[in-house]
Amino acid sequence: MSDLKQRMLDEMRTWEIIDCHEHLPPESVRLSQPVDALTLFSHYTHNDLITAGMSREDYDCTQDHTRPLRERWALVKPYWERIRFTGYSRPILYALQRFYEADDLTDDTVEPVSERMATANTPGLYDRVLRDACRIRLCLTQIGRVPEENQDLLVPILPLDQFARVPGLYEMGDQASLQGVRTLADYLEIVQANLRCAKAQGVVGLKMMSAVLPPEDAAAAATAWAALRAGKEHDAGALATYLRHQVLELAAEEELTVAVHCGIIWTNWQDFTTLHPRHMIPTILTHRRTRFDLYHAGIPWLRETGVIAKGYPNVWLNLCWCHIISPQMSMAALNEWLDLVPYTKILGFGGDYGKPVEKVYGHLQLALEDIATVLAGRVEQGWMNENQALAVAHAWLWDNAVELYRLKV
């Protein structure tokens, strides 16, 4: 490691950062669940185990705490040797070293590590991992609801379709829930009120998947609404499409950013091409006041995703999840994006974990190393100076997320 890269890493490790994407529930949820060393193989690493040849049934057994630890470790051990060098696996090693006094998982360490994890699974875990070890100020988390606890740390983003949902017939007949709602415009007032209520509870964005969204047809939607109110057959598709478009416009009005999952899928046997970032282009063009945060670098379509952000002022680029998918791809994305877009449009880190909160630390170490490598290389090429490089790094780890999601910090 060059002296320059080491200096940059040392400096970045003193900063507070914004974690731009997690699936972390309130701490009490994690504390209510049994944990052991094999918990570190949950969330993403299971994908590599199965790709390496483990059956889904055997993987599920590894997470079944009613079975003896040694029996479950025997299922993991041969596959651990096959996957230990993948991006998904490296945070396990970082977590072991930082929190559980081990350099590896072996026959000798699996039981002591499990005991230490169980002992540490106590109130204050999130503070010890996220605040103390990671220096994370806020995590933008997605669990489908506003967290009941830890609201000074966990900042919610809710599913867009939670607000663009077509009501069912039973709801239409329930005067208590839709009292006074006659027209589609009446219903949209309720949708907007719900968005405002969510924002008042701390919600800063909505989440959708990259998909082709057909143009809205207001007349067809109004006809479908009238039929729905009358209890008749209706075009639910036209109505759902209309509501999604309306919520995208309301997101701009209520200053809520729209996060978009693009590209790679989180588990095996899925067709990731259905989530190509290019599917978002018509929607981005239609809703020019709405801010879109394209997740996961659109992996594997790094360049296409970067070009989308170059052409559309309402698009940002988010490297959440990316550094554990592939550090090399993440560094390539950063290098190419610096050529393509203002650096103020790039968000540098999001752990994207749920139960195994310890792995957020490992993912962050990979992200810091990637960022330092890319920016030190630019300094060594003479394309920026060291102070400029650090300013860019700070923007990626703090400033850009604060601005895009209008965070109160």
Pair (55, 199) in one structural domain: no
Q: d(Cα 184, Cα 180) in Å, to the nearest integer?
A: 11
Q: d(Cα 369, Cα 374) in Å, to the nearest integer?
A: 9
* CB-based contact 350:319 (threshold 8 Å): yes
* CB-based contact 300:264 (threshold 8 Å): yes
Q: What is the pLDDT of residues 152-166, one digit of tens each?
A: 999 999 999 999 998
Q: What is the pLDDT of residues 247-272, one digit of tens each?
A: 999 999 999 999 999 999 999 999 99
Phi and psi dihedrals of 147, rounded to 5?
A: -55, 140
Determine if the peptide bond prior to 300 is cis (ω within 30°).
yes
Average pLDDT over residues 99-120: 98
Pair (50, 175) in one structural domain: no
Pair (116, 165) in one structural domain: no
Pair (205, 61) in one structural domain: no
Pair (136, 107) in one structural domain: no
Q: How far is CA 408 from the centre of its chain?
A: 20
* Number of domain units in the chain: 2
Pair (112, 139) in one structural domain: no
Place of tokens 């590209």: 263
pLDDT value at position 178? 64
Does some domain include residue 303? yes
pLDDT value at position 218? 97
Pair (304, 367) in one structural domain: yes
| Residues facing residue 258 across a β-bridge | 206, 292
This prediction has a pTM of: 0.96
What percentage of residues in the chain have a pLDDT greater than 70?
Answer: 97
Domain of 241 in residue numbering reads as: 130-404
- Please say if the pLDDT value at position 173 is more than 60: no
Does some domain include residue 12? no
Q: What is the pLDDT of residues 28-54, one digit of tens each?
A: 999 999 999 999 999 999 999 999 999
* CB-based contact 272:263 (threshold 8 Å): yes
Pair (284, 215) in one structural domain: yes
Place of tokens 């560094």: 331
The residue out of 90, 120, 150 marking a domain boundary is 120
Q: What is the pLDDT of residues 300-324, one digit of tens each?
A: 999 999 999 999 999 999 999 999 9
Phi and psi dihedrals of 238, rounded to 5?
A: -65, -40
pLDDT value at position 233? 86
If you ran DSSP here, which 8-state letter would residue 166 be given?
A: P
